[in-house]
Structure 1
Amino acid sequence: MKKSYLLLLFLVFGQKIKAQENTTTNTTDNPVKIGKSIFGNEVKRDFSRKGDFFVHWGYNHSWYDNSNINFKGPGYDFTLKNVVARDRQSPLSLEYLNPGQITTPQYNIRAGYFIADNYSVSIGWDHMKYVVDIPQKVAITGVIGDEISTPGVPTGAYAGTYNGQMIDVKSDMLVYEHTDGFNYANIEIARYDDIWVARSRQTSLTLETGIGGGMIVPRTDAHLFGQGRNNHWNVAGYGFSAEAGLKFYVSKHLYFQNTTKVGWTKLKTIHTTGRNDLDKASQEIKFVENLFAIGYQF
């Protein structure tokens, strides 16, 4: 009887040991899938980002290539060549921290999801600002009638037919800015490569690269020969972009980010005088945007 009891005890104990060995083997056979970095084959994190969400908020500074702007409507169809424009960065002040004024500077907001450890899909809103320098001297082609739009707006000395002549563009001819703003609503796909991971495996520096595309939704403040207003937001066109930047994870969840983005946009239906069924402008804008952001991953 005693021998039978000991035999039963050994059998039960043996089954427990076998179960533990199977669990260990399964864990080894199915490790957490962590994407390899282009900076080395050694994986230093012990967790995967797959299935995580993230959100960040930040501010940007932008630069613009010279652009041709076409203005078209009743009595006119002309293009200003190589127009110079800049952003309008708000001075660094406490308004960046004031919740009531948080959207006054040039800002970025983005939310996304990791479809794999080192790939994410996200949606974002890049609120940039674009302001044409006035006055400036540019080449012009096309026709400006004595009166434009309906009812007629006199054009004065600017009336004529042009074939590349240089003219001085002053505020009595044009005021033109996307300051509320030059908004890029976009979807991005990004890849992440660990550059450095601390021993804690919680702090790290990661390279982020990505591509995106979306709609351009400006609110344009335009006055053409004195006629115009700060127009409503409208979907004026589309754009594409590519980016590269660094994310510094203070912890597994909290991070700071600096990213540079280059983009090309085509705006086909820009509101100008406020007579949107008659008057419009169009242009292509190439930009470089640099942004700083703080984010949280969960």
Structure 2
Amino acid sequence: MKKSLLFWNQTYIRLFDFDTNLENGAMYNPSDLTSKQSFVFTKHNLFIFVIFLLCSSNIFANENEASLSIHDKKGRWNLQWGYNRSSYTQSDINFRGPGYNYTLKDVNAKDKPESFKPEVYLNPSKFEIPQYNLKISYFFTDRFFLAFGQDHMKYVVTPGQPVKYSGYIDPGVIAKNQLALSPEAAAFIYLFPGHVQEMAGYHGGEQTIALTPDILKYEHTDGLNYLFLDFGWITPLYTSSDGLSGISLVSTIGAGPVVCRSDVRVLGKGQNNNFHLSGYGVSGYVATRYEFSRTYFIELGGKGGYIDLTDVLTSGGSNRASQNFGFLELVLSGGIAI
């Protein structure tokens, strides 16, 4: 009695051949040449059949994919990577610790982009060196999405600028800090020994000091890292006739924590600190996106927001700084839709 027969393309393919002896408990004899040939023949045709099914499934999937347009986004993920240039508003920076509490007013700062070098920008192991932007988005409808990611900015107080300051500094703090000076501060104090002494005592906010190395070095260059969660929406502006490419307007609003790694010298003493949760930020983002092949896209946009750093590590121990400022990023990125 023959069982398990399959007809395909009107060709008889015997996949399994069980006779009544097998039902009665007889074992298949692999040493039988006829059985071996039949077994090899069956495996060969079964392999062809599976390949045919896979190819058919792929063709049907491609046909189904082709029927979709760039606006069919529900349930899809976007992975996005890019680079930024950043600018910042002026900021009052408060420094506090044992023996001092003072504020530098209207301090200017700028970003610090890495110059283009293939060995940096094209090397995945050095991705954290440039000012980069990473974002992962999920579309829960065709138009609306949630996104989370990181904006890796750099923030550098402009050295040498004159600023006004207020507050109090114990002269003993200055003397103590001079026992552990950074090399650049030591050189400046040797050349201009009386400059840092101007900071000692009480100050009402009318005095001006130049931010030379003996007074301040202040950078978030291993990261002013804004970790955000955004709510966003996409608005079509132009779509090609086949629906596979087009231009859209992307908008988001969001907020999240800011993690800094701050390289700071206060009155000549300090260190390059560890990564530290330093505050929070809120932001809005608008960009123009060009999509092609339903899979890839490039995006040019701007992000603006507010950052409040309430707990910046400075020169060790309980010494801290705080500041708040506005920021603006110009972001160029590319991505893939999954």
Same fold (TM over 0.5): yes
In structure 2, runs of 5+ residues without a counterpart are 1-67, 179-195
Q: How far 1:227 sits from its partner (Å)? A: 1.3
Amino acid at match of 2:197: G
Quote the residue 2:221 is aligned against.
Answer: 179
Give the secondary-structure state (helix, strand or coil) at the position aligned to 1:153: helix
Which of 143, 162, 165 aligns to 1:137? It is 162
Q: How far 1:168 sits from its partner (Å)? A: 1.5
Query: Which structure 2 residues correspond to residues 242-261 of structure 1 after superposition, within 5 A?
Result: 242-261=284-303
Moved more, 80-89 or 245-254: 245-254
On the 8 A contact 1:49/1:118 being kept in 2, the answer is yes
How far apart in 2 are the matches of 1:148 and 1:281?
Answer: 16
Q: How far 1:162 sits from its partner (Å)? A: 1.0
- TM-score under structure 1 length normalisation: 0.81
Report the structure number with the largest CA radius of gyration.
2
Quote the residue 1:294 is aligned against.
Answer: 334
Quote the residue 1:66 is aligned against.
Answer: 90
User: Comparing both structures, which one devotes a greater share of its residues to helix?
Assistant: 2
How far apart in 2 are the matches of 1:289 and 1:64?
Answer: 9
Amino acid at match of 1:132: V
Q: How far 1:156 sits from its partner (Å)? A: 3.1
Quote the residue 2:306 is aligned against.
Answer: 264
Deviations 1:84-115 (A, max 9, x none): 00000111221211222222100011111001
Amino acid at match of 2:199: Y
Deviations 1:210-248 (A, max 9, x none): 101000101000011221111001111111001100111
Give the secondary-structure state (helix, strand or coil) at the position aligned to 1:116: coil
Deviations 1:228-285 (A, max 9, x none): 111001111111001100111022010001110001011011000022xx20000002
Amino acid at match of 1:84: N
Say if 2:202 is the partner of 1:161. yes
On the 8 A contact 1:73/1:148 being kept in 2, the answer is no
Cα RMSD after superposing both structures: 1.6
Quote the residue 2:281 is aligned against.
Answer: 239
Say if 2:199 is the partner of 1:199. no
Give the secondary-structure state (helix, strand or coil) at the position aligned to 1:236: strand
Quote the residue 1:230 is aligned against.
Answer: 272
Which of 147, 151, 155 aligns to 2:172? It is 147
Deviations 1:107-160 (A, max 9, x none): 0111110011111101111000000011110010111111239x9425633212
How far apart in 2 are the matches of 1:291 and 1:197?
Answer: 23
On the 8 A contact 2:131/2:154 being kept in 1, the answer is yes
On the 8 A contact 1:63/1:87 being kept in 2, the answer is yes
How far apart in 2 are the matches of 1:266 and 1:79?
Answer: 15
On the 8 A contact 2:88/2:326 being kept in 1, the answer is yes
Say if 2:137 is the partner of 1:112. yes
On the 8 A contact 2:70/2:245 being kept in 1, the answer is no
Say if 2:104 is the partner of 1:80. yes
In structure 1, runs of 5+ residues without a counterpart are 1-43
Quote the residue 1:22 is aligned against.
Answer: none
How far apart in 2 are the matches of 1:47 and 1:159?
Answer: 64
How far apart in 2 are the matches of 1:46 and 1:180?
Answer: 37
How far apart in 2 are the matches of 1:218 and 1:212?
Answer: 19
How far apart in 2 are the matches of 1:166 and 1:103?
Answer: 37
Q: How far 1:76 sits from its partner (Å)? A: 0.6
How far apart in 2 are the matches of 1:113 and 1:48?
Answer: 13
Give the secondary-structure state (helix, strand or coil) at the position aligned to 1:88: coil
How far apart in 2 are the matches of 1:107 and 1:115?
Answer: 26
Quote the residue 1:92 is aligned against.
Answer: 116
Amino acid at match of 2:123: N
How far apart in 2 are the matches of 1:102 and 1:92?
Answer: 13
How far apart in 2 are the matches of 1:46 and 1:100?
Answer: 33
Quote the residue 2:128 is aligned against.
Answer: 103
Q: How far 1:161 sits from its partner (Å)? A: 1.1
